[in-house]
A and B are shown apart, each in its own frame.
Chain A
Amino acid sequence: MARKVENAKKYSPKLGKKELELLTRLSNALAVSGDEQEVREIVYEELKEFKDCMHTDAMGNVLVNREGTGNDRVRVMLAAHMDEVGMMLTKEDGDGLFEFVVVGGVDPRQLVGKPVIIGRKHIPGVIGAKAIHLTTKEERERELKVETLRIDVGLNGSNLVEIGDRATFATSLAVLGPSLRGKALDDRLGVFNLIQLLKNAPENIDLLATFTVQEELGLRGAKVAAYHFDPDIGIAMDSTPANDLPDFDGEENTRHNTKLDGGPAIYLMDGATIGDRRLVKWLTESAESEKIPWQYRQPGRGGTDAGAIHTARAGVPSVSVSVPQRYLHSAAGMVRIDDVLNTLKLMHAALLRLDKNILNPQERK
């Protein structure tokens, strides 16, 4: 089913200074669902060469229709979401203190005692907690509710920010040995990889690159983008939890979802999509033949943009490929650089092998 690739240009992505700089800008940007402008700007800046085939749609998705040159090109929609989970200021308590709500799936326990940034100017603030000296043991055993927390921007801070502003963790991307630690790696890694894929796009396909908005609020951007493109196949490039921590009692961890160093995570099923088996096979075969490490994401809950893409119009065979990541939706996630690059490598290798036979109905199993 896969086409033979002869004399194909070998693509070996690296995370050099330039790439790390881009990834740092992407990770540190503030783009809470519904206000993705900062990331949209970076995407536009990075993809100047595609300006004639790039546009922003009604919802704010950035769509790039990069056409190939071969015959019988498959129209592949690749989606990476620009938005991140975060907060919005909702009420001023006076003297630089603000009530806030969370946007997207943030565990309130991750908010306490964290530095944050607010608004386009990245005004610094903190989410404090009562001094331990003033708490009781019973109190410390209860979790702190969001309603009791405040964002504090300092004395007389009321002029610097306003209610309605979005906020996120003030975390800077850091390299920790073989790993990256940063916020919003879900899904700026996908944005990063999609930018790289566009710049190195195989000629045998039409690459319909989609930088989506509002994924964290229910795959909302991808829905309209998929309607617009009406692609032959859809692939969400996202990030998925690596719950590969040790069991407290030393039992085998049977629900790790994915593992760091395991390579790109290919989806069989999540809460929003049952991956098209032909696409799953195409990806795993591509990985095997290129000797790229890969893993299945354990079938489970959650969802990616594929959930919206595969039910668009009359249906789009879809699948997801994610970078395994620990601690998503907290102040910082952690990924292995190798996993990021191997995901990019796999996507490139797989796209090179892609032809229309992939959608052969006989291959559905």
Chain B
Amino acid sequence: MMVNKNNDLLNILEMLVETPGPSGSEHLIRTKIEEEIRDYVDEVYTDALGNLIARKGKKAEGGKRVMVSAHVDEIGLMVTHVDENGFARFIAIGGVSPLTCVGGRILFINGTPGVIGMERLEKDEQPSLAKLFIDTGATSKEDSRIGVGDVAGFERPFMNLGKRLVAKSMDDRAAVAVAIEALKTLKETVNEVYFVFSVQEEVGLRGAITAAYGVDPDVGIAVDVTRTGDTPKGVKMDVSLGKGPAIKVRDSSFIADPRVVRWMVEEAKAQGLPYQMEVLEAGGTDGAAIQRTRAGVPAGCLSIPCRYIHSPSEMVDFDDLQQCVSLLTGMLTKEIEL
């Protein structure tokens, strides 16, 4: 059974990372997720901003309404201009670094593939997005299959390195896969669990802001990736790949509610799972949006260690993923004491 479950998680992850869905253009990925979870939930709907919201369970005696949020969107590009020769200029959707763009391949939502080229740089000049352009093979503006407003995601195949997995949108499809697995695994619970597959996280947690208002939860957990400090001359950070789920204490968007942190730690201990405490000095998650909803919601974040975030080759550890599923499922099953 364990093997099958692993394969399921792996298959879902591969499907998720190979479906494009830059912020604001999540319809393809949302449809895929809805198909995947429909049979396992009591209710599923899409809200005004496009968040996919699935409910499992009904609040029972001692239960709480819990919002679990994993964002389905990824960083991407939007065309701003197609010039006379068919080259397209673009801006970033979310935090795209020009350094990881050069020579990259992209796929438009409308199916058009393209590559990214760069203007000549002067001495000591750093590349900027304004210096980059998309070449779709068009020879003129008329010949181009893309126009202003067309959206593209980065294109890179899923790569299974055994224990480690690499893809372009592990942020945050790895978390979406974890949430889906937890959703499927979750059987009996006193809690009313809303799995929110949120949109527009990469442009400012916008989906989670409205989803949290709509769900009006008693407690919230974001599931997202976090940086690691385990690469050569990398950032100083005490999180590593393969050392278990990271329990967020704070990031630059919010301070996780200490009660939620304790809830996570106790569940990890109870299950005998490895875990790491995470302090992220740059970055934010849906947890911050949930926390500030209405009169305020205790919120935290379950983090998946991930290397090379916002590059086309984001890397996670498969053991970490499975342990995250286990931790999350356990947390949601029991009565929650904050």
Contacts and interface: CB of A to CB of B under 8 A. Distances in A.
A121 to B, nearest CB: 41
Interface stretch (B13-21, B42-50, B268-276): B42-50
Nearest to A253: B81
Nearest to B30: A364
B206 interface: yes
A188 interface: no
Contacts of B48: 314-317, 359
B291 interface: no
A162 to B, nearest CB: 38
Contacts of B204: 272
B49 A268 contact: no
Contacts of A299: 78-80, 91, 148-149
Nearest to A272: B204
Contact of A311 (B25, B130, B206): B206
A144 interface: no
Interface in B237-296: none
A299 B78 CA distance: 7
B89 interface: yes
B230 interface: no
Contact of B214 (A269, A314, A361, A364): A314
A255 B25 CA distance: 23
A150 interface: no
A254 B203 contact: no
A256 B207 CA distance: 30
A314 B210 contact: yes
B203 A298 contact: no
A252 interface: yes
B8 interface: no
B46 A298 contact: no
Contact-size category for A: 20 to 34
Contacts, number: 80
A313 B204 CA distance: 16
Interface in A153-176: none
B27 A365 contact: yes
A359 B47 CA distance: 10
Given A255-B130, A310-B49, A361-B46, A315 B214 contact: yes
Given A269-B93, A313-B210, A315-B213, A254 B27 contact: no
A274 B148 contact: no
B166 interface: no
Nearest to A275: B24
B54 to A, nearest CB: 15
B84 A252 contact: yes
A361 B26 CA distance: 12
B209 interface: yes
B23 interface: yes
Interface in A351-365: 359, 361, 364-365
A105 interface: no
A317 B204 CA distance: 16
A296 interface: yes
Contact of B149 (A268, A272, A311): A268
Nearest to A233: B48
Contact of B83 (A252, A280, A313): A252
B200 interface: yes
Nearest to A361: B46
Contacts of B93: 269, 274
A70 interface: no
A356 B268 CA distance: 48
A272 B91 CA distance: 14
Contact of A274 (B27, B81, B200, B214): B200
Interface in A274-305: 274-275, 277, 280, 296, 298-301
Contacts of B148: 268, 296, 298-299
19 contacts: A252-B84, A254-B83, A255-B81, A255-B89, A274-B23, A274-B24, A274-B200, A298-B148, A299-B78, A299-B79, A299-B91, A299-B148, A299-B149, A310-B206, A314-B210, A315-B209, A359-B48, A361-B46, A364-B50
Interface of A: 252, 254-256, 268-269, 272, 274-275, 277, 280, 296, 298-301, 310-317, 359, 361, 364-365
Given A254-B81, A268-B148, 19 more contacts: A254-B83, A256-B81, A274-B203, A274-B206, A277-B24, A277-B25, A280-B149, A296-B148, A299-B80, A300-B91, A311-B206, A311-B210, A313-B210, A313-B213, A314-B213, A314-B214, A315-B209, A315-B214, A316-B48
Nearest 3 CB-CB pairings of A with B: A315-B210, A274-B24, A314-B214
